[in-house]
Amino acid sequence: MENSKKFKILTITTSGLKKREGISTIILDYYSYFDKKKYQLDLVASGEYDSSYVHEFEKKEINIKKLPSRKKNLLKYIYKLAKLMKEERYDALYIHGSSAIMSIELYLAKILGCSVRVVHSHNTTCDHKRLDKILRPVFYKGYTKALACGESAGRWLFEKHDFEVIKNGRDISKYEYNEQKRVKCRKKLNLDDSTLAIGHVGNFNTQKNQEFLLRVLKELIKENKKVKMYLMGDGDMRKYIEVLSKKLGLSDYICFTGSISNVPEMLQAMDMMLLPSKHEGLPLVVIEWQIAGLPCIISDVVTRECAYMDYVYFLSLDKESDWKNKIIEVGRRDRKESDSLIYTNTQKNGYDLQKNIDILQKCFLKDF
């Protein structure tokens, strides 16, 4: 690469920047370590966006390009996106999503001379399955490189076509267990030593299934009153879940934190994490929880690929009582006992952020 010329990447996430979620977190983490003297990194904010979140990207020298809503005003979005691509003449398009509807951006880029078009699959289903099915033959001819966060997410979107897995790597030092941080955070949360702190991180929507967590908690407090559940995240269904928690008499046992930037700190204070998703690609949060040494109880529809430590448990969503029993059975574990094993297994299983950044950069630069 010539020193005088930066490699220009336009990145799009179909889930947008309206709130913090897995895909945008991955983009922020990876791009934070890219050399800004070599790369110009532009990220599309389509429609509404969280201004404080956008500011986090800008602090890392990731340029935000604000466009009309992809969902609410598609034609205007396409027009503005085409104009941006013409003006900037990007070397690469990097688009994240879970359906062949990404063909829109891929073919715009192709028509306008963008030679590297990388698509990254993050889930095992999508919202608009009929349109996805129609567009698949076109989609498979639109990209130059196919990536996926895991085997299941790759097979879902690319079927029999070739793809490469780049797992959602994490900064191990950011999430590893620290006894002093735990004591400090629990004190801040007014948690005494005897209270079992149960956590969940996710957007409030049908997929993440927080309603199920309320039913589990209702069962659990019948046997153990020394429990506090922390639901970390935001979303369209948050208000509904808050109202439901009051109706179920759970107000004293549950805390809605909203969208927060100190999740690694909060994980230090937790004793266990739950993920009752109805479907998932490869959940980023489960990787973080394992690095933090936390027992994880997750739904059995989630891919087994995400589990590389022996304290991840898969349960059916059929019975809340099974989840309650498993919580009681597992309880609180000694998180210091497997520090070295966690580090080794995280690297061995492909979740080391630094190694994955090198792999990703090669996807862009091999033809440059």
Q: Is the pLDDT of residue 368 over 80?
A: no
For the chain, give the mean pLDDT.
Answer: 93
- In CATH terms, are 7-169+352-365 and 172-348 the same topology? yes
Query: For residues 344 and 334, what is the distance between their CA atoms, to the nearest angstrom?
Result: 18
Query: For residues 166 and 358, what is the distance between their CA atoms, to the nearest angstrom?
Result: 10
Q: What is the pLDDT of residues 213-261, one digit of tens each?
A: 999 999 999 999 999 999 999 999 999 999 999 999 999 999 999 989 8
What pLDDT sits at residue 226?
A: 96
Ordered by start, the domain boundaries in the chain are 7-169+352-365, 172-348
* Confidence tier at 305 by pLDDT (50, 70, 90): confident
Domain 172-348 belongs to what topology? Rossmann fold (3.40.50)
Q: Which of 219, 321, 338, 327 is nearest to 271 (CA)?
A: 327
Q: Is the pLDDT of residue 365 over 90?
A: no
Q: What is the pLDDT of residues 60-115, one digit of tens each?
A: 999 999 999 999 999 999 999 999 999 999 999 999 999 999 999 999 999 999 99
Q: Helices (H), strands (E): how many in the chain?
A: 15, 13
User: Quick check: helix, strand or coil at residue 95?
Assistant: strand
Cα 320 from chain centre: 25
Architecture per CATH, 7-169+352-365: 3-Layer(aba) Sandwich (3.40)
Q: What is the pLDDT of residues 317-337, one digit of tens each?
A: 999 999 999 999 999 998 887
Residues counted in the chain: 368
Q: Is the pLDDT of residue 199 over 70?
A: yes
pTM: 0.75
